[in-house]
Amino acid sequence: MLRRALGGEDFTVIGKAHDVSREWVRQVVKKHTGLSAKDLQSAREAARHQFKVQRLRDEATDANLRLDDLAERSGLTVREVETVLGPAEAARRRRGRNVTTAMERGQILTDLARVAALPGGSPLSGPFYDRNREDGLSSARIVQVFGAWSTACEAAGVEAPSAPREKYDRGWSREDCLRWVLDYLQQADRPTAAGYEQWARDRDGAPSGGTVRLRCGKWIETVSDAYSLETGHLEPRGPVGEEAAAPNVAGGSTTDAHGQGTDEGPDANDAPTDPSPMAGQGRESDPEVRLAVEMAAQQRLMRHYEVRGWKVVDTHLGAPYDAVAMKGSETMYLEAKGTQSAGTTVLVTRGEVEHALKHPGQCVIGVWSGMKLDHEQQVLPDSGAFRVMPFQPEADDLTVVGYEWRPPQ
């Protein structure tokens, strides 16, 4: 029974095999190993994650594999691959391989001409080409080879969509912004709002990301509307409206050898002394906001250690902590909490508390409080205060906010 439990088999299945209840199996395992079902699950998930990380490192010895290739082969997400590789290597892996031979270029031009000859293929846009290509390079990769979509189309002897006007005045219309976004979408490998912002800086006359947000709304809606504009099915929409930017705060940084202390935020004395209904973290009901806040806090905590020379691995998918930081013989377990409240209290899980109690002196928690989001539900990097401190939960510091009740069998 213990061997099957430690091997990862579900307690219910084990109980049926021995004609006992799941609860009886749990008690036996707990008595002889000290581990709960959640402990075993967390251990299995952490082991699987580390196995995937090792597989990634083995695959990454091939310098020609792109991020999505590495993610597929390792079983990790692209975001996890980026975290393990680091920003510089991840950026290099995002770029497509160079196409240099005349034969390869000739095949691209042949593919462009074939797709352009299809009904609706002239003028030939990047999205239309991607929908109808048989294989070969994507439109974004073709732009990387030829420098611009229009250049590739010209070389293939096909008509490209008209480029946006070179100059605009300040009277940007929604359609003006969408045409620029559409031009960006046809060139970007993985289009994002931040990617457009950078792209627009390098294009004379392009509206900024802020202008696009004000005229078109959220990024996901903007992308959808841009493609609708291309097909002639753009629906009218009321004005989005100007929204005031959230005030930003910034301050100093004090850290010890383990990177603990206040980092890139206001002084701890700025925290409110009178707890209010908005002083504690609470539970965010909007899943999009909750994910944005959680991921931003974790990335900030990981970056906090990376810039101090620690090697950091993301483990939030399979462990009761968000990341592991390693430097020499030292190992620290990182837990991140993000909240739009004052952060006088934050929510922690039983697994997080139990792990911290089992690893005294090795656990830290980063709390980003007072977080603000922009129109696209992206966290403003200079908002709020960020503190890194030892995570040593004591009974007096914990408040029960819920119970788990097991109905009678």
Instruction: Kindly state the average pLDDT of the residues 154-165.
Output: 76
For residues 265 and 368, membership in a common domain is answered with: yes
| Residue 149 scores a pLDDT above 50 | yes
For residues 111 and 225, membership in a common domain is answered with: no
For residues 118 and 193, membership in a common domain is answered with: no
Q: β-pairing, 330-338 with 261-262?
A: unpaired
Concatenating the DSSP letter of every residue in 244-279 gives PPPP------EE-TTS-EE-SS--GGGS-SS--TTT
Indicate the helix (H) or strand (E) that contains 18.
helix 11-18
Whole-number average pLDDT of the chain: 75
43 inside domain: no
Instruction: Kindly state the average pLDDT of the residues 285-314.
Output: 83
80 inside domain: no
Number of domains in the chain: 3
Which residue type occupies 152?
Answer: A
85 inside domain: no
31 inside domain: no
Mean pLDDT lowest for which of 57-66, 100-109, 128-137, 210-219? 100-109
51 inside domain: no
Domain hosting residue 278, numbered range: 254-397
Mean pLDDT lowest for which of 48-57, 254-263, 316-325? 254-263
For residues 278 and 382, membership in a common domain is answered with: yes
156, 185, 218 — which closes off a domain?
156
Question: Residue 184's closest CA among 176, 172, 173, 192?
Answer: 192
pLDDT of the residue at 62: 80
For residue range 237-282, list pLDDT tens digits in order: 655 543 333 333 333 334 455 556 555 544 343 443 333 434 555 5
68 inside domain: no
For residues 124 and 207, membership in a common domain is answered with: no
For residues 110 and 208, membership in a common domain is answered with: no
For residues 185 and 270, membership in a common domain is answered with: no
Reduced to 3 states, what is the DSSP secondary structure of residue 170? coil
284 inside domain: yes
pLDDT of the residue at 313: 86
Pairwise pLDDT comparison (310 vs 255), residue with the higher score: 310
Instruction: Kindly state the average pLDDT of the residues 137-147.
Output: 71
Pairwise pLDDT comparison (301 vs 14), residue with the higher score: 301
pLDDT band at 283 (very low <50, low <70, confident <90, very high): low
The helix/strand count (H/E) of the chain reads as 17, 7
Instruction: Kindly state the average pLDDT of the residues 58-67.
Output: 81
For residues 319 and 224, membership in a common domain is answered with: no
For residues 261 and 355, membership in a common domain is answered with: yes
CATH code of residue 301:
3.40.1350
For residues 183 and 272, membership in a common domain is answered with: no
For residues 150 and 193, membership in a common domain is answered with: no
The rounded percent of the chain whose pLDDT value lies above 90 is: 7
Instruction: Kindly state the average pLDDT of the residues 194-216.
Output: 82
Pairwise pLDDT comparison (238 vs 409), residue with the higher score: 409
Q: Are 163 and 146 in contact (CB under 8 A)?
A: no
pLDDT of the residue at 261: 59
* CA end-to-end span of the chain: 22
For residues 342 and 208, membership in a common domain is answered with: no
Provide the whole-model pTM: 0.38
Pairwise pLDDT comparison (55 vs 170), residue with the higher score: 55
pLDDT band at 199 (very low <50, low <70, confident <90, very high): confident
| Residue 365 scores a pLDDT above 90 | yes
319 inside domain: yes
Which residue type occupies 279?
Answer: A
